[in-house]
Amino acid sequence: MLLSTQSLDASVHEICLVDSDWYGLLGGGNGSGSGVQLLDEYLSGDIPSTGMFLSTWVVGINHLKRNLEHYWDWIRRHPEFDIKIIVLGPDRIDKAELRPLPEEYIHLILPENVQKETLTDVLENAFFNLRLRNEKLQLQSRLALSSQELRRLTKVAQSLSTERDFDVLIDQILTQAREMVSADGGSIYVVEREKSGQRTAHLRFKKSALNLATDEFLLPIDSNSIAGYVAMQGKILIIDDVYALSGNEEYRFNYEFDRAHNYYTKSMMVIPMKNHRSQVIGVIQLINKKRHYGQQLTAEDMKGDAVIAFTEKDQELAMALAGQAAVAIENNLLIQDIENLFEGFVTASVTAIEQRDPTTSGHSFRVAEFCVGLAKAVDRLSSGNFAHNHFSADQIREIRYAALLHDFGKVGVREKVLVKAKKLYPNERELIEWRFRYIRLAVEKHYADKKLRYLKNNDRASYSEYEELMNREMQERLNEVDDMMRVIVESDEPTVVEAGNFEKLEQIARKKIRLPGGIMLPFLHENELISLSIRRGNLNQQERLEIESHVSHTYRFLIQIPWTGDLARVPDIAHGHHEKLDGSGYPLGLAGDEISLQTRMMTIADIYDALTAPDRPYKKSLPAENALDILKLEAKEQRLDERLLNVFIESEVFRVTESPWT
C-alpha cells in the first residue's frame, strides 16, 4: 500500500490527490490505492462539510501552471483544507511562475523521473509536517480556550464578589453556570441551618432557570432528591440520562417534575458549593447540556441527540464556578449578618432611648419612614427643582440610619428634663399645692382666731352676726386663694404659641404669708414664677439649652462609630436636623446651602411628627392639615425648604406611616 489514511482524530482526514499525468505512478493504474484520488475529479466533486482535511497534492509542473488560478481560488474557498503541494518537473523552477499561489504551499520540487520509493518518503514527510502543524494548532486552540475560560472565570468572580443583592447574586450564579456548560435549565438551592448553627436543617430552593412560577420551598437534605443527596454527600454527581437509571441508585429523581411542567430531563450535573471549611452551603443543579447552546428545545428535542451528556471539562468548569459562587454567597450572607446585626443595634438603641422618654415613643421610627418616603419621592422626579437629584439605595439607607439615630444624644440629657410634661416638675407642682393647702388652712385659722377673740371680748348675743360676717370674709379670701391656684394650674399647661396669665402670676408671686416665727413665705418662689412664665412650650431657658444639647451629644456619639463609606455622612445629616435655612436653628446656626438636602428632609419630617404625634403630654396632637399649615408658615418665613415641603405634601409622604392621627 502506497499511503495510509491515519487520522489524528475522528474529525481529521488525510487525502493524497494526484495529477492525472502521474496517476499511474501512484495508484498502480486503477486508482484503488488507499487515500489516493485524482486531483481534478476530487476538486470538482462534493466536498465534505465537516472536519479538518490534511491534503497533499502531487502535481506535474505543466498541469499546475495551466490550473493555477483555478487551484488558488479553490484553496481560498476551502480553509478547512491544510494543503502541501509536491511539484514534479525540472530541477530548477522559478517560483515566480507559480504566482498567485503562495510559496508556503509548495512542499518540495522533485524531478519528473523520481523513484516511487523516494516519492513515497516525500509524501509521508509532507503528511508528517501537516500533522505536526495540525497538532500545534489544536494545542494552541486548547490553550486559547483554557485562557478564555480562565478570563471568563476571573470576570465571573469579580462580578459575583461585588454583587450585594442576594437574589441578583443567585441569578448571576445560575446564569453563568448554564452558559459555561451550555445547560438548558438549572436551579440553585441554599443550605439553611438551625439557629444554633450546629447542624444542617434543609435546602431552600432559591432560583430556577426554566421560568417556572415556583415559590421558594424547603427540601430535606437526604437521598430522596438528587439535590439533597449531593448536599449530603458533598460530591459532584453527573447523570447522562435520568430515564436510564436502574432504580437501585442511592438517590431518587422526581419524574413528576417533567410531567407537571411538560419538560424532559435527560442529562444532569449537580455540584455542591463548599465554603473554606469544606461545608456544603448550597447546590447548583444543571439540566440538559445542549449540543448547540443557542437552540431553543422542545420536550421532543430533549429526548433526541440535541441534548448530550456533560463532559469532564464541564465538570472542571462547574466546580471552579461553584467554588467562586460559594465564596460569593458566604460573603454576601456575612454582609447580611453584619447589616442585620447593625440594624438590630440601631433598633435596640432607639428603643432604649425612647424608653427613657416614653413621651416620644415611635418618633424616630416615624421620622425615618418620612425621610425615606421623601427621598424616594425626590428620586422619582424627572422635572422641576429636583430633576437632577437622585438617591441610590445606599444613600437612602444612609438617610434612614441618620433619621433613626437623630435623637440618640438624648442619652446625655437628664431624664427629668426629657420627660417633663408641664412647665413645673411634678415635685414642684406638688410643693405649690401643699403650700396653697397651708395657705387655705392659715386663712381659716386666721378667721377662727378672730372669732375666738370676739367671743372672749364680747357677749354671745352679738356673736352670730359677727360670725356670719367673718365667714363671708373668709370665703372671699379662700376663693382668692383658689383662684390663684387655678391660675397656677392653667399656667402650668404648655402652649404651642405664646400665651399665659403672666401679670396675674407676678401678682401672686408678690403675695406672702407669715409663718410661725415671723418668717414671710411667698405664694410663689422666683424659680416657680420663671417656670410658670414660660411663654411657649414647657421648658425654661436652661432646660431648653439642655434639650438642645442632645444634637451635639448625638454627633459626638455618631462620629465614634467607624461608618463604612456608604454611610459616612450619617453623623453630619443627623447633626443638622434642628438647623433652619434662615440661620436661626441650632447648634451651629447653619443657613442656606450649608444645610444638606438630606438634613432639610429630616427637619421637615421631625417637625411634622412632633406636631401630629399623640404621645406628647405637653401638647395636643394636631390634625395633618393643621400641621402642614404650620410647616407652610415656617417655609414662607424661610426657615424650611419650601420646595421639599411641596414634594412632601404633593407626594403625600406625610401619609406614609398610615397613623390614625394623620
pLDDT digits 0-9 by tens, 420-460: 889 999 999 999 999 999 999 999 999 999 999 998 888 88
**pLDDT tier at 6, thresholds 50, 70, 90:** very low
229 in a structural domain: yes
More confident residue, 9 or 214: 214
Q: Are residues 328 and 445 in the same domain?
A: no
Q: Which residues contact 647 (CB under 8 A, 6 or more apart)?
A: 374, 377, 378, 381, 386, 653
Which among 16, 551, 574 has a CA at the least distance from the CA of 25? 16
Q: Are residues 552 and 534 in the same domain?
A: no
Q: What is the pLDDT averaged over residues 315-336? A: 85
Range ranked top by mean pLDDT from 40-49, 217-226, 332-341, 490-499: 332-341
Q: Are residues 529 and 552 in the same domain?
A: no
497 in a structural domain: yes
pLDDT confidence of residue 200: 53
Q: Are residues 392 and 487 in the same domain?
A: no
Q: Are residues 603 and 494 in the same domain?
A: no
pLDDT confidence of residue 31: 32
Q: What is the pLDDT averaged over residues 303-319? A: 89
Q: Are residues 167 and 260 in the same domain?
A: yes
- Look at residues 538, 565, 596 and tell me which one is the last residue of a structural domain: 538
**pLDDT tier at 1, thresholds 50, 70, 90:** very low
Residue 650 predicted with pLDDT over 90: yes
Least confident of 154-163, 251-260, 265-274, 485-494: 154-163
Q: Are residues 205 and 285 in the same domain?
A: yes
Mean pLDDT of the chain: 84
Say if residue 220 is preceded by a cis peptide, omega within 30 of 0: no
Residue 558 predicted with pLDDT over 70: yes
Segment 500-528, tens digit of pLDDT:
678 899 999 999 988 888 889 999 999 99
Q: What is the CA radius of gyration of the chain?
A: 47
The number of folded domains in the chain is 4
pLDDT confidence of residue 475: 95
CATH number for 298? 3.30.450.40
Q: Are residues 211 and 323 in the same domain?
A: yes
Q: Which residue has the cell 520540487?
A: 109
Q: Is the dihedral of CA 27, 31, 33, 37 positive or negative?
A: positive
Q: Are residues 205 and 295 in the same domain?
A: yes
Q: What is the 3-state secondary structure (H, E, C) of 410-475?
A: HHHCCHHHHCCCCCCCHHHHHHHHHHHHHHHHHHHHHHHHHHHHHHHHCCHHHHHHHHHHHHHHHH
Least confident of 159-173, 292-306, 619-633: 159-173
Cell of 614: 399623640
Domain containing residue 493: 426-538
Q: What is the 3-state secondary structure (H, E, C) of 584-651?
A: CCCCCCCCHHHCCHHHHHHHHHHHHHHHHCCCCCCCCCCCHHHHHHHHHHHHHCCCCCHHHHHHHHHC
> What is the CB neighbour count within 10 angstroms for residue 552?
15
Q: Which residues contact 39 (CB under 8 A, 6 or more apart)?
A: 17, 18, 19, 20, 57, 59
More confident residue, 359 or 551: 551
Range ranked top by mean pLDDT from 247-256, 338-347, 579-588: 579-588
Segment 206-231, tens digit of pLDDT:
656 565 555 566 778 888 889 999 99
588 in a structural domain: yes
Half-sphere exposure of 390 (CA within 13 A, CB side): 7
Residue 50 predicted with pLDDT over 70: no
32 in a structural domain: yes
pLDDT confidence of residue 106: 86
Q: What is the pLDDT averaged over residues 543-570? A: 93
Q: Residue 291 belongs to what H/E stretch? A: none
Q: Which residue has the cell 397651708?
A: 438
181 in a structural domain: yes
Q: Are residues 459 and 587 in the same domain?
A: no
pLDDT confidence of residue 299: 85
CATH number for 21? 3.40.50
Measured between alpha carbons, how far is 256 from 272 in angstroms, rounded to an integer? 24
Residue 8 predicted with pLDDT over 50: no
pLDDT confidence of residue 561: 94
352 in a structural domain: no
**Are 543 and 420 in contact, with CB atoms under 8 Å apart?**
yes
Cell of 53: 482535511
Q: Are residues 172 and 88 in the same domain?
A: no
Q: Are residues 552 and 625 in the same domain?
A: yes
456 in a structural domain: yes
Q: Which residues contact 266 (CB under 8 A, 6 or more apart)?
A: 240, 241, 242, 243, 287, 288, 302, 303, 307
**Burial class for 270, CB neighbours closer than 10 Å (0-12, 13-18, 19+):** buried
Segment 359-407, tens digit of pLDDT:
778 899 999 999 999 999 999 998 988 999 999 999 999 999 999 999 9
Least confident of 151-165, 176-190, 303-317, 463-477: 151-165
CATH number for 617? 1.10.3210.10
Q: Which residues contact 76 (CB under 8 A, 6 or more apart)?
A: none
346 in a structural domain: no
pLDDT confidence of residue 355: 84
Range ranked top by mean pLDDT from 273-287, 308-322, 544-558: 544-558
What pTM was estimated for this model as a whole?
0.65
- Look at residues 95, 124, 139 and tell me which one is the last residue of a structural domain: 139
Residue 594 predicted with pLDDT over 90: yes
Measured between alpha carbons, how far is 160 from 440 in angstroms, rounded to an integer? 81
- Look at residues 523, 538, 553 and tell me which one is the last residue of a structural domain: 538
Output phi, psi for 385, to 5 deg. Answer: -60, -30
In order of 392, 441, 493, the CA distances from 488 in angstroms are 54, 19, 9
